[in-house]
Structure 1
Amino acid sequence: MPVRMPAFLLLLSACVLWQHGSSSLVPAGCQDEVVLKAAEETLERINTDRQEGYIFSLNRLYDVKQESKAEGEKIFQLTMDVLETKCHLISRRKWKSCEIKDIGDVPVFGTCEASVSLETPIRLLQYNCTIQQVEARAIVFMCPDCPAAEPLEDPVIAETTRLALQQFNKDSSFQELFTLLNITAASMQWVVGPAYFVKFTIQETDCKKNTPDLDLSQCKLKDSKSAHKGYCSGSHITDDNGMEMKSPGVEAAVLRPVGSVQVLPPSPNQTVQRVPAVAAGCPGPRQFNLGLTEMDL
């Protein structure tokens, strides 16, 4: 005679199998402190990995799933709503220290889906982000006088950027000239005439500032690891007839390279001459010597 298992035992067995499988998805709350901390750290790592654009800020944790591997590793599948900040990635600032773009800055919103391992420290496995500008009609409805986005390839945007960069090179205290890397944002606002606003990145070249009759397009970029880079905001205002009403304005934040690495060729004498250590307990113990008894690694 067949034996029937009570319904509640069937349900309990299903839950146990679901939670202890080698790749089971277990719901985790978006308000959970551990989950939120993981999302914040994940976004920090996404920003660090990205090479172009603006730093993302966490607007909302939309969803999370927890995957438990057979070996005990826990993985979060995170879906995060993000907003662009005013900080360019060149600044390498923490996203919590950056101000988001409001409706006067042509805001950008989007979603990042990421997979992270909850090891110590958190390990970013993969991510995919999709972003877009807020539709112009939505901005005009709330703020009719706010700047509207302009196509980056528009000739007037290229000219505004050129004039702003020219003004920066004229006013800067650097001995070398800077050249354009990328135009990153552009907008237009009607004042007494059209006012154009641009944001762009720059990098130091090998051309000296005081060189007469210099064509900036012929200047070569300095090595990316040792060159100064910057992020600039520029503007240019004209009247209805195209006459310049105000000289190009420009503000720029130029970042010094953190450091550099010099690679030396192999040498018969590989003893490094340096100042003797003076602090207590220094030099510290070596971790490795590679068995090279004749060398002071």
Structure 2
Amino acid sequence: MKALNVLVLLASVVLLCRASPVLEPVMCNEDHSAAAARLAVHDINKHHKHGYKFRLSEIKETKMDKVEEGCTIELHLDLLETKCHSISPKHFEDCETRHVTERAVIANCTVMMAVKDGNATVPRYDCDTRQEKTNREMSRMCPDCPVLTPLNSPEALTAIEKAVHEENINSTNEHFYVLQEVGRVMSGWMSSQGMYYSSEFVIVETHCPMGSRIAIQACDPLCPDRARHAFCRSSYTRGSGLQSVDCEYYPALNTTALGPGEKEPRCQYPHLMHLPRPAGHPSPAVHHPSAGGGRPPPPPHAHGHGQGPPSFPGSGPPPHAHGHGHSSFAGSGPPPHAHGHGHGPPSFAGSAPPPHAHGHGPPSFAGGQGPPPHAKGPTNRERVLPFFIGPCNGFLAYSDPALHPICPKPLPEPRNIPELERP
């Protein structure tokens, strides 16, 4: 494990040292499309600090208007989500995209660009992030394929919690790691094992040294530039528990040694969310297995990320773009997946009502059978927020909770989020 971690770190350093591709200048002429689109995708990925990087799929339309000392350009782009998480040092243009059976995610973006005195800037963009195929469409193509599950699904979080626990026990890291973000969760049904979950998530290095005994809540992550991060994949079945966990570690961006008597700075992670523990479940302490006994699992961290077609002020109603809703609760059968899907570029309208979500029936599972029996509704203790004030300031409330959206630029002010229903 130690040799593998060193190898991964060296590979990551090589990627970090690669020069960023040179961007072609954007000109105010009829050949502007390719250079403008490339700059737009670079800007989108630069500000996309959660979820996965995106690549350009297609330039749908461009419109240029000449103004004094330059021009304005409106771009309508189709982007594809890649397999590279935003923490990966790999350049997005070198990242692999997902096949449709891997539940590919696309984004339809409208980008406004300004070119003045030969310098191009991207003052605003607006993207509709959604699954390429709805569950109903996928069930016709591949009845046994898994589906995307909400990022704050309690049972999925339990599976990820066990994976983080296992990684901390078996790694040779100097510090304890905690969950920073759930990237995506695929779930399905196996006749022999029940529900299964294939998860992708990010863990971050904390101040707590391995071998110490301290409450998990006191293990604050190191500052983002000084912390090592790892992108992990795990598999879990309800029948057999955790099957595997594999993590790829990335070096810290800032490796400057602290001076004599200098303490590690403290920072806050805006997207590090904690799922409340039910009553009767005390917070476990952190200690290394060598100190005696096994390490209690860390508490789950809930990450809800809304997405959908936001609006900029200025014009008419939003397009007919429909998000994909999911909800899942611990202990129940496979999560229901009501999906709609939208087409067309997003609008810059700011006063229109939220998009209308259109539901579809649940997908088929292995063997063409329906969901397992004994599905139950959530109790108050199992109730979770459908979204959090997170990457998009809670702006994209009516969105697919299984995805990480591309947040609009500029980012709107936070919405007023209703309180959790209390038991």
**What TM-score, normalized to structure 2?**
0.50
Shift of 1:215: 3.7
How many angstroms does 1:121 deviate by?
5.8
* 1:241-287 deviations in Å (ceiling 9; x for gaps): xxx2x6441122222122267999xxxxxxxxxxxxxxxxxxxxxxx
Matched, 1:252 2:274: no
What's the CA shift for 1:27? 9.8
Alignment match, 2:202: 201
CA contact (8 A) 1:167 1:248 kept: no
**Secondary structure of residue in 2 paired with 1:236:** strand
Is it true that 1:130 corresponds to 2:128 in the alignment? yes
**Contact 1:176–1:206 at 8 Å: present in 2 too?**
yes
Superimposed CA distance per residue, residues 52-105 of structure 1 (whole angstroms, 9 cap, x where no aligned partner):
12111111111101121112x133211101121111111143222111122332
| CA apart distance, 1:227 | 0.8
RMSD over equivalenced CA pairs, Å: 2.5
Which residue number in structure 2 is paired with residue 114 of structure 1? 111
* Alpha-carbon separation, structure 2, partners of 1:110 and 1:174: 37
Q: Do 1:195 and 1:237's aligned partners in 2 also have CA atoms closer than 8 Å?
A: yes
In structure 1, distance between residues paired with 2:44 and 2:122? 8
Partner of 2:160: 161
TM alignment of 1:87-236, pairs within 5 A: 87-118=84-115, 122-133=120-131, 134-191=133-190, 192-193=192-193, 194-212=195-213, 214-236=214-236
Which residue of the other structure, out of 64, 67, 70, is the alignment partner of 1:66? 64
1:92–1:74: structure 2 CA closer, same or farther, 3 Å change rule? farther
Deviations 1:141-195 (CA, angstroms, capped at 9, x unpaired): 2122221112222221111110111111122221101101122211212343221
Shift of 1:200: 1.4
Q: Provide the identity percentage.
A: 24
User: How has the CA–CA distance of structure 1 residues 45 and 247 changed in structure 2, closer, same or farther, with 3 Å as cutoff?
Assistant: same
Give the distance between the partners of 2:98 and 2:119, measured in 1 at CA: 30
Larger radius of gyration between Structure 1 and Structure 2: 1
More deviation, 199-208/251-260:
251-260
Contact 1:150 1:188 in 2 (8 A): yes
What corresponds to 2:344 in structure 1? none
The one-letter code of the counterpart of 2:228 is H
Give the AA of the match of 1:115: M
Distance change (3 Å), C-alpha of 1:85 and 1:154: same
SS of 1:91's equivalent? coil
Q: 1:122 to 1:231 in 2, by over 3 A?
A: farther
Amino acid at match of 1:52: H
Q: Secondary structure at the match of 2:87?
A: helix
CA distance in 2: counterparts of 1:175 and 1:261, whole angstroms:
17
- Whether the aligned pair in 2 keeps the contact of 1:167 and 1:249 (CA below 8 Å) is no
The C-alpha deviation readout for 1:17-64, integer Å capped at 9, x for no partner, is xxxxxxxxx995xxx5x4113212220121012221211111111110
- 2:238: which partner in 1? 238
| Structure 2 residue ranges without an equivalent (≥5) | 1-27, 260-423
Deviates more, 1:126-135 or 1:172-181: 126-135
Describe the shift of the 1:171–1:219 C-alpha distance in structure 2 as closer, same or farther (beyond 3 A).
same
User: Whole-Å Cα distance in 1 between the matches of residues 217 and 144 of structure 2?
Assistant: 37
Distance change >3 Å, CA 92–CA 78, structure 1 → 2: farther
Q: TM-score, normalised by structure 1?
A: 0.69
Higher helix fraction: Structure 1 or Structure 2?
A: 1
Aligned equivalents of 2:155, 2:121: Cα separation in 1: 44
Higher relative contact order (CA 8 A, sep 6+): 2
User: Is the CA contact 1:103–1:146 (under 8 Å) kept in the aligned structure 2?
Assistant: no
Counterpart amino acid of residue 148 in structure 1: V
What's the offset of the Cα at 1:110? 1.9
Match of 1:49 in 2: 47
In the alignment, the residues of structure 2 paired with residue 121 and residue 88 of structure 1 have an alpha-carbon distance, to the nearest angstrom, of 30
Partners of 2:163 and 2:242 within 8 A in 1: no
Greater strand percent: which structure? 1
Name the CA distance, whole Å, in 2 between partners of 1:79 and 1:92. Answer: 27
Residue matched to 1:37? 35
Identify the range of structure 1 (81-90 vs 123-132) with the bigger mean alpha-carbon deviation: 123-132
User: Aligned pairs, how many?
Assistant: 228
Inter-CA distance 129–224: structure 2 relative to 1 (3 Å threshold): same
User: What SS does structure 1 have at the residue aligned with 2:248?
Assistant: strand
